[in-house]
Structures are given as structure tokens and as C-alpha cells.
Amino acid sequence: MDEGNTMGIIKTDKLTFEYIRRDEEGNVEGITRAVDEVDLDIRQGDFIAILGHNGSGKSTLAKHINAILYPTEGTVWVDGMDTQDESRLWDIRQEAGMVFQNPDNQIIGQVVEEDVGFGPENMGVPTKEIWERVEESLKAVGMYEYRKHSPNKLSGGQKQRVSIAGVIAMHPKCIILDEPTAMLDPNGRKEVIRAVRALNDVEGITVVLITHYMEEIIHADMVFVMDQGHIAMEGTPREIFSRVEELQELRLDVPQVTLLAHELRQKGVNLPEGILTIEEFTEALMAVPGC
Amino acid sequence: MIRDITLGQYYQADSVIHKLDPRVKLVATIGFIISLFVVDSWVGYVVAALFLACMIKLSKVPFGYMVKGMKAIVFILLITVVFNLFLTPGEPLVTLWKLTITKEGLRIAVMMAVRLSFLIVGSSLMTLTTTPNSLTDGMEKLMGPLKHVKVPVHEVSMMMSIALRFIPILLEETDKIMKAQIARGADFESGNLIKKAKAMVPLLVPLFISAFRRANDLAMAMEARCYRGGEHRTKMKPLCYRGADRVAYCVLLLYFAGCVAIRVWL
Amino acid sequence: MSDVENRDKEETKIMSLILDHVNYIYGEDTALAVHALKDINLVIPDGQFIGLIGHTGSGKSTLVQHLNGLIRPTGGAIYYNGEDIHDKDYDKKKLRSKVGLVFQYPEHQLFEIDVFKDVCFGPKNLGLSQKETELRAYAALKQVGLADEYFYQSPFDLSGGQKRRVAIAGVLAMKPDILILDEPTAGLDPKGRDEILDQIAKLKEETGITVILVSHSMEDVAEYVERIIVMSRGSVLYDDTPREVFRHYKELEQVGLAAPQVTYIMQALAKQGMKVDTAVTTIREAKQSILQSLGK
């Protein structure tokens, strides 16, 4: 690929986004800094998680990556292309695909396979190749048998998987998922995260997952926690989960197993911080004298 | 539940008519409707009836479905018949109290009734054998030439497809909002016209806001998938005429020629 | 019969809501008839905090809409304070003021020009005087913890969590005896979820209202409720305390549910030979049990 290129697939430099707040009469009330001098450098093939409470700026940040929003200050590069370069707009959107939160509001086709083909149709891909891409994308997310179904009859998790297929049919280098599981039930959430992990592991697609469900980020390579538009914490999942009180102050929480370990540690039980799974917990507790 | 409503009542079957290109069916339906006004003799109507009957048979759609569409216009049909029956001047046939049925009245009333019925059945045949999506594709292709006179053909077609896709969703949302307001004591049934209209506000305001929100989300999703209008777009399911379509056009031409001939010589 | 049911039978005289052999089939005359509720028998006593869980399609939403008369059962009857709610002359509007139902994403039903007016909608529909309506609206907004400064703003200018509070206040203004909330935490961030549930628990403490919480989060349900009703494919699978219900975690998994993560942790520890209480359902209980086992 591009070994000589040291820039990551997604890079931002002092990315800032401000908007003007107006009152009912249209008078300027103030300026809100939704994103505040964010620096990111994401490598191809990474699984990145961006966490944050509602209003922290994580969705606003995400929308800069595929040029839905433009920075007020600073720059965003996708695969070396500046998002403010109008001539490369469609190349950027093809390289950085996006899946949104509401399963119904991003499905355009009346039949699953037609919806997945929408992206390639827009790109001018020849008919025969569209069908090949649709087939491979649906198979990659496990929805091939539903290709002739109406989207109305699918569950939330299935709809999101169809949307993911619709994005990967465009052959992007990275896929950004903006709270894709927020409106799903637990089973739907599992389906979607499983599909996303498979894309990252098997196909090597860079994944940027925006969420506030802590269980979903356990397998991420890197986690960024946002608060008031800037990055408040960054590190591996283990490093982030070690800082329980900080997370709680940022209106987030940790999985029950992490919290339990943390509370026991506070009572004097010698457990390591940043426990992610039940297996780790059991092992660590068994190693404590007195067990 | 509500999401299972199929608009235009598409009836799934594997028939010659179902497989025809949607453009053929659109042109045929318009042609058929025009033929109903070209023809004005009994012979003509019999020919039209035979043509329609053949098409219905070929479509494998049960006759009951065809007649379903008639239920909607029974009232209009009745009014048309009654008005023409009693208000046409001419040679009187029967007199009931002050009203007279004339020979001309009878003739026109029957003719109107036949035309209207055939029109409805013919249109139903089209929507029963063609999915809404194919119809919008067909219309987009047919109106293609209008692009040269700056008519936004592709955009209109896209709008229609999206509207069709979202109608079931908005219907379901209406149901949800209604239930939520009823749970707060709202009453959508009792009261006079003005009261009922006012009662719609708690239903319509949230519905409109929801529709706009969805439209906004959808626009973003479309742009994220590189949608930039109809230029340079390819099609996954392009419309191409096949043998059967050409045969259908010939049959249509013959039928129409026949109708014109009957009109001219009879 | 479990302990809960035995106790309730004795207190039947002050019972609020009773479901007696309730069945619901929709699309009854069509080929696509679905038997959504199968022979449901439930007793909802005053002042209980109940959790209602079930996989998507289990009949939870259908059941909940029966409780305030929005849907009429195709078989069986529903009694509120001893009266059949589908009797010819029964006042359903009054029932809906007593059995308040907050749907999922309730902020989608907001429509008025300002927050205060929207909360007044419910009491106004009940035919109360202007003064009484306004008093109730004010009290309800205070109950959900919304600051005064937002009362006269447009509901659409508020944040998601604030809008949700306004919607809940809209139902509380009707002064219900039973409050049913369908996934009140959907779409909120972790702190937001805690805040709403804490507010509901506080409300219950202060007013003694009966609360039915429909939720997909086993952890939330275990933390707050005293009784869990599990729905599966239209029937009641379990109806017991959280401890008892989550003991059946294997059966729950088979119907697409689970137990709180804490329960699994304890099972894993017990497997390793540790002497812990495997039926705990909250972190608090787990911590105590482990500390006890370690001799601390």
C-alpha cells in the first residue's frame, strides 16, 4: 500500500468547529465551540472508538471526516486529501463511508439489494459490477438471504447491517459509525458490533465507532473520550477503563465487571485496574490470597 | 401490521403481464384510457371489453382484486349515472313524478358508466401487476427526453420513490403519536368539525417535525453515499425492451387502430 | 405459586389492576393472524415497582397498551379497582388519567409552543379548571427536576434528556396511580440513564405510585425493581423477585434475554470454587458477597 506515507488514513490538525446561536428573532446569542482543537491521527486498519456524553461533540467531529461539515479552523485529511478541497469531495466520501444512528432514515431502496446498490449507482459503477459488489457486501454482513426482502420487515439490527453493506459496497478505506446501536435492542447491538469487528479483522477496513455503550469498545485499538468538544482522555481500552472516577465525571460509565473490580480494590482487595472481561476478573480474584 | 400495507396493491404473480417492461404498461394504460373516449358505439365498447378481459386473464390476478378498486368510485359512478339519466334533454322514455328519463340520457349514462368502470379496472390492472418502484423507474425513463427542456425528471422520480418508501413508516408513526396523545386524554373522535380539526394539532405538529427530521437525516445519508443528482448515475436494474415488450406494443397498436377504425366507419 | 402471588391474593381488596385470562389476536379474520397475548393472568397491586422484560416481539408493548385501554383484548377481561374497563359505560378517559403510559422516545409527541403549555395538555383534556391545570403542570415539571428557566421555552430548543423529562411530566400532570414507562432510558448517555431512573425511584418513594418499567437493560431492572415479569412469545414466562428470575439465566438466554453481568461474574467465581452467593443481581450485593468470602 502506501508504506512511504506516514500520514494516517484520517488525520486532523487543530480541528475546530464553531456555530452561531441565534434566538427566536434571529439575533446572535453567542457562539458554541462544538469541536475544540482536536488532533487525530488514525492508521489504516485500526479500530478506533470515540466516546462521550450526549453533547460532547463526538457526532459533530465524525461529520467532519466525510466532509458533511467543514472546519471553522484547522484541517481534516482523508487518505491525504484535504476535506475542504471541493474537487476531491466525492473521492473523500467514497473513501470514508458513514453509517448513522436511525435505521429507517438511511435506507432509500424499497428492496434490500436495491438499497445496497444505491452507493455504487451514484458512483457510476457499471451494472454488472454493481451486482457483484452488492452480493459480496451483503455476504460480508450476513444479510445475503434477505436481499429480495422489503426493509420494512427487518429488525433494527438487520437494517443497520444493510446500511453497513450499502457503505462497504462503495469499497471505502474506512467506515465511520455514528452511534449505530443507540436505537437497537441488546441483540441488535451485538449483531451490528459483530459485523463491524468482522469488517475490521477480515477486510482490514479502518473503523471509527462513535458510541456511549462501554461494552462495545473493549476490542478497540485506541479509545478517545470527548468532553465539551475536546479530547479529554485517550488510550487503549484498558487504560481508559482504569480511570473509573474520571469517566463517571464525564457522564460515562464502565461495564459492571470493571466497576465491581474497582470497588473491591477500594476496599483493599489487590486487583489490577482496567479489568475488561469476566475471565480477567475471575483470574485476578483467584490470584488474591484468601481465596 | 401497518407496515404490511402494499401501496397500489401490488399482487404477486408470475404472468406475462407482470414481466412486461413498466413503460409498456404505462403507455398501454394511457392508450387504453384514450381509446375509451375514442370509441362511442356499442361495437367499440365490446371490443374494449374483450381487450380488457384478455389482459386480466393473462395477468393471473383474481377478478375479485380488480373489482376492489371499483368500491372507491361507486359513489361517483352513481352520481354520474343519475345526473346524465335525468338531466339530458331529448326524446322522453319514462317519466317519474317531475323527472324524465330520455333516450339520449339513458345512452349517455350507460356510456359514462362503462367508460368509468373500464378506466378504473384498467388502471388497477397496471398497479396490480407493477411494483411502485418499477412504475417510478418506467416514468423516469419515459420522461427522459423532457430533460432537454430542463424538466427535473430524475429528481421527481427520486422524490416519488422516497415518498413511497416512507409512507408506511409515517403511517406507523402517526399511529404511535395518536396513541401517545390518547394516553394523555386526547379525543380524536367526538365533537363537531371545528373541534376535530383543532384536535389534529397534537397529531400533525409532531408528525411534520418528524417528517422533516427524517428528510434531513436521509439527505445526509444520501450525500454520504455520494448522491449528487442524476448526472453520471448508472442503474442496477436498467430498463431494456425485450421481445415480449415489442409484441405487446404491436398488440396495443392493433387494438388502437381497431378502435379508430370502428369510430370512423361505424 | 410464588410468594409474591400468595401475598397479593390476600390484598386483593386494594388491588389496582387485574388481568384475567387476557388474550389478544390481531388480524383475527385474516390469514396473518398473530396471537400476541396468550392467556395472561396478572395482578398489579398498589405501590409496587415492577420490571417488564422480554425479547422484541414478546408482547410487552401490546400488554402495556392493554393496561390503559388503548387496545381491547379479544378474550378475557381487565379490571381496574374492581370494574371491567371495557364495560359499555366505563370512562376510558378517566382510566387513562389513573394509568399513565409514557411511550418510547416520548419527546416525539411534544407539540406546543412552550414547555408549560405542553404539560398542561393532559390535565386540560381531563376538563380541569385552568387554575388546577396550571398547578398540576407546575408540580409535574418540578417532579421531573426541570429548572424553572425552561418552562416558557419552546420544547424543541431543549436537549434530548430535557425534552424527555417534559414528556414524562406531561403524563405525571394527569396524577396517575400507576405509571408505565416504556424504555425511558432509550438513547440517553450513561449518566442520563441513571438520572432518569433515580428520578423515577425518588418519585415512587415520595408518592407511593405504582411503577411498571419496561426495559431491555437487565442491570437497570435488577437495580431498581422489586418484581420482574418476563414475557416470551406472548406468555408470561416468569413473575417473581429479581433474585428468583435471574436464577433462571439459562432459560432467559434461550428466549433472547440474559441476566445482569454481575450474575455471570458470580457464577464464574463459584465455578472456580469460591464461596459466593450466585444469585446476586446488583454490584452492591456482589461486592458484599465477595468481601465476605475473602473474610474482610
ipTM confidence score: 0.91
Q: What is the pLDDT of residues A228-268, one digit of tens each?
A: 999 999 999 999 999 999 999 999 999 999 999 999 999 99
The H or E element containing residue C52 is: strand C49-54
C50 pLDDT exceeds 70? yes
Residues of A in contact with B236 (CB under 8 A): 113-114, 117, 120-121, 127, 130-131, 134
**Contacting B residues, span 196-215, partner chain A, CB-CB under 8 Å:** 213-214
- Cα–Cα distance, C123 to C139 (Å, whole number): 12
Which among C65, C111, C170 has the least Cβ separation from residue B201?
Answer: C111
- Arch. (CATH architecture) of C3-259: 3-Layer(aba) Sandwich (3.40)
Residues of B in contact with A110 (CB under 8 A): 131-133, 161, 164-165
Q: What is the pLDDT of residues C194-249, one digit of tens each?
A: 999 999 999 999 999 999 999 999 999 999 999 999 999 999 999 999 999 999 99
Using an 8 Å CB-CB cutoff, list residues of chain B that contact chain C: 1, 4, 173, 176-177, 179-187, 201-202, 205-206, 209-210
pLDDT at C248: 94
Among candidate residues C250, C145, C158, C255, the one with its CA nearest the CA of residue C200: C145
Among candidate residues C30, C33, C40, C89, the one with its CA nearest the CA of residue C66: C40
Among candidate residues C22, C47, C60, the one with its CA nearest the CA of residue C216: C60
Burial of C183 (0-12, 13-18, 19+ CB in 10 A): buried
Instruction: Please check whether residue C110 touches B, CB under 8 A.
Output: yes
pTM over 0.90: no
Closest-approach residue (CA) in chain B for C101: B183
Which among C27, C97, C111 has the least Cβ separation from residue B185?
Answer: C97
**Substitution target from A108, A130, A171 for chain B, most B beta carbons within 10 A:** A108
Q: Which chains are adjacent to chain B, needing at least 3 Cβ pairs under 8 Å?
A: A, C
- Cα–Cα distance, C232 to C244 (Å, whole number): 17
Residues of A in contact with C216 (CB under 8 A): 185-186
Domains and CATH numbers, chain A: 10-236 (3.40.50.300)
Provide the residue ranges of all domains of chain B, joining segments of one domain with +.
9-131+240-265, 145-224
Using DSSP, how many helices (H) and how many strands (E) does chain B show?
A: 10, 2
- Interchain contact, C56 vs A185, CB within 8 Å: yes
The alpha carbon of C194 is separated from its chain's Cα centroid by a whole number of angstroms, namely 15
Which among A53, A268, A288 has the least Cβ separation from residue C191?
Answer: A53
Q: What is the pLDDT of residues B178-208, one digit of tens each?
A: 999 999 999 888 888 888 888 899 999 999 9
Least confident residue range of A78-92, A132-146, B3-17, C89-103: B3-17
**Substitution target from A106, A127, A149 for chain B, most B beta carbons within 10 A:** A106
Q: How many angstroms separate the CA of residue C81 from the nearest CA in chain B?
A: 19
- Interchain contact, B182 vs C96, CB within 8 Å: yes
- pLDDT tier, C64 (very low <50, low <70, confident <90, very high otherwise): very high
pLDDT at A119: 96
Q: Any bridge partners for residue C214, and if so which?
A: C52, C182
Closest-approach residue (CA) in chain B for C36: B1
| Residues of chain B scoring pLDDT < 50 | 1-7
Provide the residue ranges of all domains of chain C, joining segments of one domain with +.
3-259, 260-296
Q: How many angstroms separate the CA of residue C24 from the nearest CA in chain B?
A: 14
- Interchain contact, B185 vs C125, CB within 8 Å: yes
Which among C26, C65, C171 has the least Cβ separation from residue B184?
Answer: C171
Q: Are A160 and A181 in contact (CB under 8 A)?
A: yes
Residues of B in contact with C100 (CB under 8 A): 183
Tell me which residue has cell 480541528. A15
Q: Are B188 and B199 in contact (CB under 8 A)?
A: yes
pLDDT at B4: 37
Residues of C in contact with A188 (CB under 8 A): 56
The pLDDT mean for chain C works out to 91
